[in-house]
Amino acid sequence: MANLVPPSVKPGILGGHFIKFRSRPTEFLSDLAELGDVTTFRLGGQRSYFLNNPEMVRDMLVVSHHKFVKGRALQRAKRLLGDGLLTAEHEFHLRQRRMIQPAFHRQRIADYARSMVEYGERLSDRWKDGETLDIDQEMMRLTLQIVAKTLFSADVEGDADEVGQAMTNLINLFNYLLLPFSEFLEKIPLPQTRRFRNAKDTLDNVIYKFIRERRESGENTGDLLSMLLAARDEDDGGRMTDEQVRNEALTLFLAGHETTANALTFTWYLLSENPAAEKKLHEELDRVLGGRAPTVEDLPSLKYTEAVLAESMRLYPPAWAIGRLSTEDHAFGGFDVPRNSLVLVSPFVTQRDPRFWDEPLKFEPERWFDQSVKEASNRFIYFPFGGGVRRCIGEQFAWTEGILLIASIARNWRLRLDPEQKIGLKPMITLRPKYGMRMKIERRNSER
């Protein structure tokens, strides 16, 4: 192995690069990428490396994945998610994935699609021409209702605000869990600790109530919860305990609405800033749908709609960074990465790299007609859903939901950014808009 030291930016006086990384993470990683494909930095006492090369990303996520475990962020997420699919490791992770995979079979997703469209149409019917709304909150509420319906067969419209607020509190407090020594801070009755526990208790009460009622009724409703309760491991025939079901349900609950909501929010923003692309989207929706609601059978015909979503996730990937902790020494590009190092890759940075993308900062859905999502993913210049054995299990669910919701809403409405709305990024577990996303709703009927 080589003994070269990768380049780095100047550290701060305290904590190495910790303050710079925490205060402006996407800019910090972009600055590192300017220095080379492999760079290094320190987060307190943690030796860290950043990779911005598709082959190295593939190496970490696919070829040499056995040398890495989830990074500190997701290890700390066990405080919320337990040993769920997102946080579990090695054989237990593979066992859980085998048991959950049937819930995301193509036919199952086709069944869920009806709920996706139903709630999208319900939202569309509720909007009023000319009103200005917090679109980020509208999308959070919408995807929360959909995941509750598809996961639990529950209509949480009445409870959506309370559950959604608990989710938001957990996301906001997650950065607190990443602070140095947060394991010790948790034991002190600080306001952040109390808020975290209260939000976790709220979600636990909701989910355990669903599990208890379903076990008592013995009913198989065909939703994700029924599949989790009925799932058996193909090797040992074992079932999940209530705690395991809770961990997986909460993981899917969180991942299934937070990521899609953020992807949709940035999609509406990009369309409002790019009227030519928006016009092509509307033309496709008018041609394919002819004024009716979309169905899952329309997906093969909604090519431009799919391209709009793909391009939105290229520029604003909900999972903006992926971290791993090395369990063995490894080398990337001639640089040693010792055991117990944090290694980061970033879809946000790589998917904006001019070496791999023409005019990378331009919103251009047409680029996806020259190269498919699958081709770009195989090259690891596009990996919003990760890669390898830990690639997002709900990827097809997310694509189906995103395309159908864009179609349901955009067939009736144009969204225009409020002139007073500031734009910024808030990279947390997912990439959120820093200042929200207030937009004016305009009915499209007059165009037809």
CB 157 within 8 A of CB 118: no
For the chain, how are helix, strand and coil distributed in percent, rounded to 5? Answer: 55, 10, 35
Distant-in-sequence, close-in-space partners of 105: CB < 8 Å, separation ≥ 6: none
Sign of the CA dihedral 22, 23, 26, 30? negative
Report H helices in 367-424.
Answer: 367-370, 373-378, 395-410
Q: Which candidate, 37, 30, 28, places its Cα nearest to that of 10?
A: 28
Distance separating alpha carbons of residues 78 and 259, to the nearest angstrom:
19
Query: CA-CA distances (angstroms) from residue 334 to 61, 78, 300?
Result: 18, 34, 44
List, as own/partner pairs, every contact residues 368-376 make where C-beta atoms lie below 8 angstroms and the sequence separation is at least 24, other chains included: 368/306, 368/307, 368/310, 368/311, 369/303, 369/307, 373/306, 373/310
User: At CA 402, angle to CA 398 and CA 408, rounded to 5?
Assistant: 145
pLDDT number for residue 75: 62
Environment class of residue 197 by beta-carbon count within 10 Å: exposed (0-12), middle (13-18) or buried (19+)? middle
β 335-337/413-417 pair status: unpaired
pTM, entire model: 0.91
pLDDT number for residue 403: 98
Q: And the tokens for 360?
A: 């990378």
- 440 pairs with which residues across the strands? 132, 416
- 147 pairs with which residues across the strands? none
Distance separating alpha carbons of residues 114 and 150, to the nearest angstrom:
10
* DSSP codes of every residue in 314-348: HHS-SS--EEEEESS-EEETTEEE-TT-EEEE-HH
pLDDT number for residue 1: 45
Distance separating alpha carbons of residues 281 and 407, to the nearest angstrom:
9
What residue ranges do the domains of the chain occupy?
18-447
Q: How do the pLDDT tens digits run along the chain, 448 residues long?
A: 455 889 999 988 777 888 888 889 999 999 999 999 999 999 878 899 999 999 999 999 999 999 998 766 656 666 677 776 666 667 777 887 877 887 788 888 998 999 999 999 999 999 999 999 999 999 998 998 898 888 878 766 555 556 667 777 766 666 655 555 555 555 666 677 787 788 788 888 888 888 888 888 888 877 888 888 887 766 666 778 888 888 888 888 877 888 999 999 999 999 999 999 999 999 999 999 999 999 999 999 999 999 999 999 999 999 999 999 999 999 999 999 999 999 999 999 999 999 999 999 999 999 999 999 999 999 999 999 999 988 888 899 999 999 999 999 999 999 999 999 999 999 988 899 999 999 999 999 744 4
Distance separating alpha carbons of residues 255 and 87, to the nearest angstrom:
12
CB 356 within 8 A of CB 381: yes
Q: And the tokens for 86?
A: 């997102």
CATH among 3.40.630.10, 1.10.630.10, 3.30.70.2860, 3.40.50.720 for 18-447: 1.10.630.10
pLDDT number for residue 216: 86
β 413-417/438-443 pair status: antiparallel
Q: And the tokens for 190?
A: 């600080």
User: Which of 86-124 are b and which e, b meaning 16 or more Cβ less than 10 Å from the residue's Cβ?
Assistant: bbbeeeebebbeebbeebbeeebbeebbebbbebbbebb
Distant-in-sequence, close-in-space partners of 412: CB < 8 Å, separation ≥ 6: 124, 443, 444, 445
Length in residues, the chain? 448
CB 115 within 8 A of CB 148: no
Q: Which candidate, 445, 440, 427, 443, places its Cα nearest to that of 268?
A: 440
Token pair 């999972």: residue: 319
- For residue 286, the one-letter residue type is D
Distance separating alpha carbons of residues 76 and 72, to the nearest angstrom:
6
Distance separating alpha carbons of residues 117 and 404, to the nearest angstrom:
6
